[in-house]
C-alpha cells in the first residue's frame, strides 16, 4: 500500500469489491496506535541509528518513506533554459514547478511518459533527483577544466558536470562496471556533449588513475554505499543491509576517497558524496580523511560552495559544514556531501 496516494483512484477501479473492502479496512487502521516496530518497519539496528541521528524528527522521516517520491528533472543547461523546458512540458499537458534549491531542476507530479516528448528525446532534460543535482553543483566544474567523476555509474551527475563545463575541457567518467557505463551512452548522445570520456577501471588503484595523478582540477567521488537514502524508492534495501556490510563499505569508501584525492592538482576541489543516511558512511569517513590529510586538504563549508553555484536557500541544506539532505525535510532522496580544497 505504500506510495499509492497518487494512484489510489486508478488502483481502486482495478480491485474487486472484496479487495476494495479489505483496502478500506487497512487504510482505516490508526498507525499511531501500532507498536513502534510495526510503525517504522525497519530493522532494529537501523531504527536505532536513525533515532539517534534524527531524535524528534524520526517519525516524520518514517512517514516520508511511505509518501513516495516526486519526479525531478534536470534541465540540460548546455542546450536549454528552464523556463523554455517548463513551457514545452506545459504544452504537452505536464505541469512542472521549479525545484526549491537547484537552479536547474523541475518537479513533476505523477509519472508522465517523458520518453515520448521532444523535450526529452532531443536531450533538453534528464530525469535526476534534485539532491543528485546538488552534488554536481557542489563540485562547481568550470569551462576548460580537467574533471573526474570517479564513480560515475549511469552518468546522471557526469552529464550535469559536462553541461556545467559548457562542453569544453575533459571530463572522465570512471566506474568499475561496464554495464553501468553502457547505459550512459544513449544519454550522452542525447545531451550533445562531446567532452565526456567514459572508462571502465578495475579498481581505485587502476593504472588509468595513476597516470592522471596531480593533473585534475576537480574530482567527484559519489562513493558506493548502502543506498539507504533511497528507501522511499527502494524499501527492500533496509532488509539487505547489515552493520557488518556497512563496516565493509566504510573501508571501501575510505580507500576510494584516498585514491581519488591523489588525482588533484594544487588548488583543486574534491567532493565526497553518498546516498546514505548513516554517520558511519558519511561524517566518520570524512573526519578520518580530514585528520589524515590536514596538511594537504582544507575543508570547505558546503553552504558557501552551494551559494557560489547559485543554489537557493543553501544554509537549509547544510549541517556542520556538510550537505545533509533528508526526504522529510527537503523532499529529495537522502544525500550527504563534503568538500575540500587541495592546498
Cβ-based neighbour number of residue 164 at 10 Å: 22
- How far from 56 is each of 38, 51, 161, CA to CA, in Å? 18, 8, 37
Q: Specify burial of residue 4 (Cβ count, 10 A radius: 0-12, 13-18, 19+).
A: middle
Residues 151/174, Cβ–Cβ less than 8 Å: yes
Q: Tell me which DSSP letter residue 108 carries.
A: E
Catalytic residue among 46, 173, 275, 331: 275
Q: Select from 26, 109, 99, 28 the least CA-distant residue to 67.
A: 109
Instruction: Read off the C-alpha cell for 269.
Output: 576541489
Taking each helix axis as running N to C, give the angle between helix 58-65 and helix 44-54, from 0 to 180 degrees, rounded to the nearest 10.
120
Q: Is the dihedral of CA 75, 81, 82, 85 positive or negative?
A: negative
Cβ-based neighbour number of residue 168 at 10 Å: 13
225 is catalytic: no
Cβ-based neighbour number of residue 2 at 10 Å: 11
SS3 327: helix
- How far from 273 is each of 150, 196, 256, CA to CA, in Å? 11, 21, 12
Interacting residues of 260 by C-beta distance below 8 A, sequence separation 6+: 148, 150, 204, 209, 219, 221, 270
Residues annotated as catalytic (active site), given as ranges:
275
Amino acid at each position: 500500500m505504500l506510495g499509492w496516494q497518487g494512484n489510489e483512484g486508478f488502483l481502486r477501479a482495478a480491485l474487486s469489491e472484496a479487495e476494495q473492502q479489505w483496502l478500506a479496512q487497512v487504510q482505516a487502521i490508526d498507525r499511531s496506535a501500532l507498536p513502534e516496530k510495526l510503525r517504522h518497519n525497519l530493522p532494529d539496528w537501523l531504527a536505532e541509528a536513525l533515532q539517534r541521528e534524527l531524535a524528534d524528527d524520526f517519525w516524520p522521516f518514517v512517514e516520508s518513506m511511505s509518501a513516495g517520491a516526486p519526479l525531478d528533472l534536470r534541465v540540460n543547461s548546455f542546450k536549454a533554459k528552464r523556463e523554455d523546458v517548463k513551457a514545452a512540458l506545459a504544452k504537452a499537458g505536464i505541469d512542472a514547478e521549479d525545484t526549491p534549491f537547484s537552479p536547474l531542476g523541475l518537479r513533476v507530479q505523477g509519472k508522465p511518459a517523458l520518453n515520448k516528448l521532444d523535450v526529452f528525446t532531443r536531450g533538453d532534460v534528464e530525469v535526476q533527483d534534485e539532491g543528485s543535482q546538488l552534488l554536481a553543483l557542489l563540485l562547481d566544474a568550470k569551462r576548460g577544466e580537467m574533471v573526474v567523476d570517479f564513480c560515475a555509474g549511469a552518468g546522471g551527475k557526469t552529464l550535469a558536470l559536462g553541461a556545467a563545463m559548457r562542453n569544453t575541457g575533459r571530463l572522465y567518467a570512471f566506474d568499475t562496471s561496464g554495464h553501468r557505463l553502457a547505459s550512459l551512452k544513449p544519454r550522452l548522445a542525447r545531451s550533445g556533449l562531446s567532452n565526456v570520456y567514459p572508462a571502465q577501471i578495475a579498481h581505485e588503484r587502476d593504472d588509468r588513475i595513476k597516470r592522471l595523478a596531480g593533473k585534475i582540477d576537480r574530482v567527484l567521488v559519489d562513493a558506493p554505499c548502502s543506498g539507504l537514502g533511497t528507501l522511499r524508492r527502494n524499501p527492500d534495501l533496509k532488509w539487505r543491509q547489515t552493520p557488518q556490510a556497512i563496516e565493509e563499505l566504510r573501508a571501501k569508501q575510505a580507500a576510494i576517497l584516498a585514491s581519488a584525492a591523489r588525482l588533484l592538482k594544487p588548488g583543486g576541489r574534491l567532493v565526497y558524496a553518498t546516498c546514505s543516511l548513516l554517520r558511519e558512511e558519511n561524517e566518520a569517513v570524512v573526519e578520518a580523511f580530514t585528520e589524515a590529510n590536514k596538511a594537504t586538504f582544507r575543508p570547505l563549508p558546503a553552504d558557501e560552495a552551494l551559494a557560489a553555484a547559485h543554489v537557493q536557500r543553501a544554509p537549509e541544506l547544510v549541517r556542520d559544514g556538510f550537505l545533509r539532505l533528508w526526504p522529510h525535510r527537503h523532499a529529495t532522496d537522502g544525500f550527504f556531501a563534503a568538500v575540500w580544497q587541495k592546498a
